[in-house]
Amino acid sequence: MKRVLLDTSGYSGFMRGRSEIKLALQEAEEILLNPTILGELFAGFMKGKHQKKNERELYLFLDSPRVGMVDINEDTAKRYGIILNSLWRMGTPIPTNDIWIAASAMQYGLNVLTTDRHFLKVQQILVDYFEA
């Protein structure tokens, strides 16, 4: 069994009923998010037409005993620097929020569960990628 960091795109895929993402989450021992992921979700909810419904569903999801949060702290920031410098050297930048997500995965030894292909550019992490 493994522990996963559920990226925003992975959460969205799960909520849209993607069977392969549902299965991956069922098989995970622990499902984790970080404040960056929550911020992206809340921002998306605010843009949409079903903010209250989406927030209720998120809080129900977060109440699951297998779902938790990881902190972003100084150790995360150091890993952010490592990943960003590596991406610069390779000439393959990715969105800033996703570097924070990758840094959390690196820090806590988590696989990133995502539909965003650019996480595959981050050599310091393991990625469970599902085609969008």
- Strands 30-33 and 3-6: what pairing? parallel
- Could you tell me which residues are beta bridge partners of residue 43? none
Helices (H), the chain: 8-15, 19-27, 35-47, 51-62, 74-90, 96-108
pTM for this predicted structure: 0.95
Closest Cα to residue 82, out of 36, 122, 35? 122
The fold for domain 3-129 equals Rossmann fold (3.40.50)
CA distance linking residue 46 with residue 110, whole number of Å: 28
Q: What is the pLDDT of residues 65-115, one digit of tens each?
A: 999 999 999 999 999 999 999 999 999 999 999 999 999 999 999 999 999
